[in-house]
Structure 1
Amino acid sequence: MNTFLKFQKKLELWLMYLGGALLIVLMIVISMESILRKFVNFSIPGIFEIAGQLMVGVTLLGISLVQADKEHISVDIFNDRLPKIVIKITDILIYLLGIGLTSIFAYQGFWKFIESFQTGETAMGLISIPFWPGRLIVFLAMTVLCLRFLMDLIILIFDKSKNIETESSN
């Protein structure tokens, strides 16, 4: 399991780097659009479609790494007052919900990617921008996030260092 966790962490890191690279590309494209429009009165064809596709990668590719590092927003004011067993049960339910939702998103993302790729679905505009890259990113990001939730659940349940001591010690 340690080998899989190391591989998954490395994959999440690379996806985060890819998301960061897409953010840089997005900033360059938007900046070029602004400069060209202001000084040359020229607009890049398909800029909104391109930016939309890039935003999918920027927003989703790093989400699994954020979960791995437990950096998502949480309300600790309530958790601090609950018994450890209640926190553990709540975390298990949250991970199960996360697995359920992300597996649905991954499944739908996969079939939408296949459909979009096979039909050659494109955005309507001056130039044809295919939708399939964004749909592929949704599938990949949600699959990796689903696996992260699964690993977190397994670790929470079976890791001896995370086992709850008797509540009488609180």
Structure 2
Amino acid sequence: MLGLFQRITAALMLLGGVGVVLMMLTIVADVVSKLLWNTPIQGTVEISSYYYMIALVMLPMAFVEMQDEQISVDLLFDRFPQPAQRILLVLTGCGAAMILSVMAWRTGLDALRAIRVGEVVMGSREVVVWPARMVLPLGFGLAALASLLRAMLAIRGGTTARTVHTRGAS
């Protein structure tokens, strides 16, 4: 199951990267169109904000969590003995999973509301945004699952990116 989850998160990471490329191409096309023909591409800001940015932030979230690549400050952690580090990894993994689960639940409620009302946003043109709302609970939910998996790995004494880093520094 862990291998399947890691493949799914890696695929979502790749999709987030595709979002970056698409956003860049859309913005470049908008600027070129505006400069050459004085006709900007309508909806560029809205599509970039509501689709591309959400995809590039939320889709890789679980992969980043599984790889332990989120921003962290290890002033004291590296100085603790191995058993204390394991306990802290379990506690932080469970705590992060709880917070991310609440965020998934809350954004899921917002996504359901957006679907129900057919949410759109007005800018230079009307853009349908309700499909993008579903990416948030997906990203938060998978990140919560990744946090739980990392906590379970720590309980079982398995290797996580953090323990590899800590052991390598000794």
What TM-score bracket applies, with the shorter chain setting the length? Answer: 0.7 to 0.9
Distance in structure 2 (CA, Å) of the matches to 1:77 and 1:94:
16
Deviation at 1:161, TM superposition (A): 7.1
Check conservation: 2:90, 2:152, Cα contact below 8 A.
no
**What is the rounded CA distance, in whole Å, between the counterparts of 2:128 and 2:157 in structure 1?**
44
Counterpart position of 2:89: 91
Aligned length: 159
- Is residue 2:51 matched to residue 1:51? no
Alpha carbons 2:54, 2:135 under 8 Å: kept: yes
- Give me the whole-angstrom Cα distance separating, in 2, the residues matched to 1:45 and 1:141: 28
* 1:61 Cα deviation after fit: 0.8
From the CA coordinates, give the structure whose radius of gyration is larger: 1
TM-score (norm: length of structure 1): 0.86
> CA shift at 1:96, angstroms?
1.7
Kindly provide the amino acid, as one letter, of the partner of residue 121 in structure 2: A
Unaligned runs of 5+ residues in structure 1 are 163-170
Does the alignment pair 1:8 with 2:14? no
Unaligned ranges ≥5, structure 2: 161-170
- RMSD of Structure 2 on Structure 1 (CA): 1.7
Partner of 1:60: 58
Deviation at 1:160, TM superposition (A): 6.4
Aligned to 1:39: 36
Of residues 87, 105, 108, the one that matches 1:110 is 108
Identity over the aligned pairs, expressed in percent? 25
Q: 1:161 to 1:117 in 2, by over 3 A?
A: closer
Q: Distance in 1 between matches of 2:158 and 2:140?
A: 28
Query: Deviations for 1:38-68, whole angstroms, at most 9, x for unmatched residues?
Result: 2221221111110102101011111211111
Q: CA 1:105/1:42 → structure 2, altered by over 3 Å: closer, same or farther?
A: same
Query: What residue in structure 2 maps to residue 21 of structure 1?
Result: 18
CA distance in 1, matches of 2:141, 2:128: 22
Comparing 20-29 with 33-42, greater Cα deviation is found at 33-42
Structure 1 counterpart of 2:135, from 131, 137, 141? 137
Q: Which runs of 4+ in 1 moved over 6 A?
A: none
The secondary structure found in structure 1 opposite 2:98 is: helix
Give 2:114's aligned amino acid.
S
